[in-house]
Amino acid sequence: MNKIPKCSSEEHRATFTTLIGISCGIIIGILLKNFTNQPWSERAIMYYQLPGEIFLRIINCLILPLIISSVVSASCHLSKSGSIGVKALYYYITTTTLGIILCVILVQTIKPGEYHINRNLTIISLQKFVTTDTFLDLLRNFIPDNFVKACLNQYQTVLSKPINSTAEENVHLWRISHQYIDGTNVLGLVGISLLFGIAIGCMDKKGKPLLNFFQALSDLTAIIMNWTIMAVPFGVLFLIPGKILQTNDLTEMIFQLGIYVSTVILGLLIHGLIVLPSLYFISTRQSPFRLLSKIGPAIITALGTSSRLRIIY
């Protein structure tokens, strides 16, 4: 009778407060959209979104040191962990690769960021891509040519229709160019950090100061990130209403968001219920469902906190 339910425990409190903040943000945004003078000026929206913008800037500032320090400190012990470390590395690379492949397939098939609805609610596709270029860009981003540039930009293949050409449908005949777009190349940072961590682990005593530095930096960044996560419910109260006020067609925004969320959920279900169990069965020749029943709480926590599938519009 005196036991506290799990849903109200400390580790789940942040998730539920975030959901409450998102719900309140949506309600506030709809009220401001329908019961205030429209349209809001860009300056008024900027003023309203300022607390949420500051929150996002803090999060983005912590991503870079968090990724580098955590990956380097974790991979330092791979060279000393024997076969277990090697198997763990193979497992991580395999599951991550399969997740990326699944992500690209779903994005290229569903194209959640390329659909709009007109007045008759007819879906209209806007752009074309080549799936092979997407996989090659992932490989190029995983092996960046400049560490500093990887902190700021991502490599991307661009297709442009030749002038005075009739190649409307055959995208493979379009001209190929490349550009760097704004945004941290997380995949490249992970690759470089993994290489640095393994190399530090091979240095034995000489690499101990570097190992201590990255471990301390990882702990420091994690503490600051935990402080920042506590402000998530407050930040979304300003971010979500601001986006709703910027939207001219709320129905279209909900439609696009629904396609995006459906794509993410579909990818999680396929990866978690088909790909990973199949990989487990191939490796152990045992039923994966017994294992799933034991790690159910961990799966629910993972689904409630972050997504393994990263889909880019």
Q: Give the architecture (CATH level 2) of 9-295.
A: Orthogonal Bundle (1.10)
| Host H or E run for residue 160 | strand 153-160
**CB atoms < 10 A from the CB of 204, how many?**
10
- Mind listing the pLDDT tens digit for each residue in 177-231? 888 888 888 888 888 888 888 888 888 888 889 889 999 998 999 889 888 888 8
- From first CA to last CA, the distance across the chain in angstroms is 48
Q: 100 pLDDT exceeds 70?
A: yes
pTM exceeding 0.75: no
| Model confidence pLDDT, tens digit, residues 71-81 | 888 888 776 66
Between these two residues, 22 and 1, which has the higher pLDDT value?
22
Q: How sure is the predictor about 112, in pLDDT bands with cuts at 50, 70 and 90?
A: confident
Every domain of the chain and the residues it spans: 9-295
CB 111 within 8 A of CB 125: yes
d(C-alpha 165, C-alpha 162), whole Å: 5
Tell whether the model's pLDDT for residue 305 goes beyond 60.
no
Helices (H), 180-310: 186-202, 208-229, 232-246, 250-270, 276-284, 288-294, 296-305
Distance CA 277, CA 253 (A): 35
Phi and psi angles of residue 107, each rounded to the nearest 5 degrees, phi first: -65, -45
